[in-house]
Each structure stands twice: as structure tokens, then as C-alpha cells.
Amino acid sequence: MICRVTVAVVLIIAIAASAAPLPFPKPAKKAAGDLPRAMQGLWEVQSRVSSRNKMSVTPTQRYVRIDGNTWTFLRADKTVPGGACEMTFDRKQSPVALDLSYPAPVRLAATRTGPYMVGRVEVDGDTMRFCYRLRGDRPESITPKKVGEYVFTLQRVRSP
């Protein structure tokens, strides 16, 4: 009888020790199709970094308001320093490609046509990163690696 109880206790302890809980699954990243919706709202620019060093955030680029398919840089007092940019996505690329272009009347005054900023964007919760170049070739990743590449890190502004 004692032998059976001892075996039962050893088995119970072995089963309890081997049944460790599994870790919680990581939350799935939002699908690329959900990205424009996840970007909507007001964002504060936390930093701007080049491939070589951290740069100051310009006074005219303190905030970004995304409304529909429009990206607007705002001053610290949330006024608009210039025109809004139209956003164009290529969801087939990873990270998602994002181009910012000024509307046609503004573009005609410029000496060059095409998107003003070409880059890649990702949103993770309340943080957005936009790695870009002014015209030229699109960055390969969300991290600036070549001269002329920059990344904005933005934090969503929540209403009180």
C-alpha cells in the first residue's frame, strides 16, 4: 500500500512539474491593409534621426495630423506651416512603402515632380516610425542606413 501511494505522489509531482504554463502569444502585427486606419489622428514627433546622428525636430514639424489620406505637419502651437501632403501606400512591400506628395498646384511651382518624401512606415500601438528620403531612392528598411535617410519617431497624442 505504501508503495502505491509513493508511486502516485511521485507521478503527481512529475506531472505538475512538467506542465509549465505556455507564454502568452505575441499580439499580431496589424495587417498592411489596416495601416492607414491605424495612422489616423494627431501624432507628436519625438525624434528625427539620420543615418549618422540624432537631429533636432524642426519647429514646423512638431506634430503630424493624419486625416484620411492627408499628412499635415503642424507647428508646436498646432497651426499649419504649409500645405498638406497626400499619402500613397504600397502595401505589397515590407515594411509598407509610403510616399508623401504635395498636391498638383504646389508641385507645379517646384522644380521637381514626384513624391516629396519616399519612405517606409510602421505603426506599433501608439508609436509610428517613418523612415524616408527627400525624393530619390526609397530606404530599404525602417532604419536609416545611407546618407540622406532619416526616421521620424512619432507618439500618438491621446485626448485627455
Contacts of 108 (CB under 8 A, 6+ apart): none
Residue 140 and residue 145: Cα distance in Å, rounded? 8
Q: Is 133 a residue whose pLDDT tops 90?
A: yes
Q: Is 21 a residue whose pLDDT tops 80?
A: no
The reported pLDDT for the residue numbered 159 is: 76
Categorize the per-residue pLDDT at 23 as very low, low, confident or very high, splitting at 50, 70 and 90.
low
Categorize the per-residue pLDDT at 107 as very low, low, confident or very high, splitting at 50, 70 and 90.
very low
Are 86 and 101 contacting, i.e. CB atoms less than 8 angstroms apart?
A: yes
Output the nine-digit C-alpha cell for 125: 500601438
**How much is the pTM?**
0.73
The domains of the chain, with CATH numbers, are 30-156 (2.40.128.280)
Percentage of residues in the chain having pLDDT higher than 90: 50
